[in-house]
């Protein structure tokens, strides 16, 4: 049985060198490209090694107490993710948190790195500005490995976790309050620019 300790904390505090952020974005873009061609596992991808994407210190006590959870995620999102993780484990499918809560500064750094590397408008398909990012609010999770992301694509809506973007199979948000079904995923994150 999977335990709460399997829930990896989001990156906070110490940041890896700038090139590591660009590498992580490149891995995500390569993973998305691989998924478009029907690949299920890409060696060296963040989904293949969730520890790389989630490396860093646990949230500060202020961040954790702000949401009342160990991860800083919205308590209902954390509860639903843990339930999904247990259900996936029962199906012998690994499901891990690769990214959760981000600060506005971390999100802006991801935007800046994507723009520097890929230019506009391509970068906008993959990353939102801090004021529109559900990660900054503790309302989004990225999951891995690829097998787990596909499992959650299939079972997440029944567990109250919705796939948000068609180009990011790893990104999930809460089923909107009062909704009976997940909204149709957007093609990408360019809607907020």
How do residues 24-57 score in pLDDT, each as one tens digit? 443 343 333 333 323 222 222 233 333 323 333 3
Tokens of residue 157, six digits: 């809506």
What's the CA gap between 15 and 37, in Å, rounded? Answer: 32
Q: Where are the domains of the chain?
A: 4-192
Q: What's the length of the chain?
A: 193
CA neighbor of 5 nearest in space, from 61, 118, 89: 89
Q: What CATH code is assigned to 4-192?
A: 3.30.1380.10
Q: Token match 């989004």: residue?
A: 140
Q: Token match 């500060």: residue?
A: 60
The pTM (predicted TM-score) of the whole model is 0.67
pLDDT digits (tens, 9 = 90+) for 75-94: 999 999 999 999 999 999 99
């Amino acid at each position: 049985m999977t335990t709460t300790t399997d829930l990896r904390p989001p990156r906070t505090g110490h940041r890896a060198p700038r090139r590591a952020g660009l590498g992580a974005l490149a891995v995500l873009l390569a993973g998305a490209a691989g998924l478009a061609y029907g690949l299920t596992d890409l060696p060296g991808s963040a989904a293949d090694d969730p520890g790389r994407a989630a490396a860093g210190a646990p949230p500060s006590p202020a961040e954790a107490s702000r949401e009342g959870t160990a991860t800083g995620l919205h308590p209902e999102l954390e509860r639903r993710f843990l339930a999904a993780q247990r259900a996936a484990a029962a199906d012998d499918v690994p499901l891990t948190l690769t990214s959760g809560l981000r600060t506005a500064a971390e999100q802006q750094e991801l935007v800046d790195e994507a723009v520097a590397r890929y230019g506009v408008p391509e970068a906008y398909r993959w990353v939102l500005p801090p004021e529109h990012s559900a990660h900054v609010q503790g309302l989004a999770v990225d999951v891995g490995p690829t097998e787990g992301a596909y499992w959650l694509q299939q079972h997440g809506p029944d567990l109250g976790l919705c796939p948000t973007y068609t180009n990011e199979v790893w990104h999930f948000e809460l089923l909107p309050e009062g909704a009976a079904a997940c909204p149709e995923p957007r093609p990408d994150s360019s809607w907020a620019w």
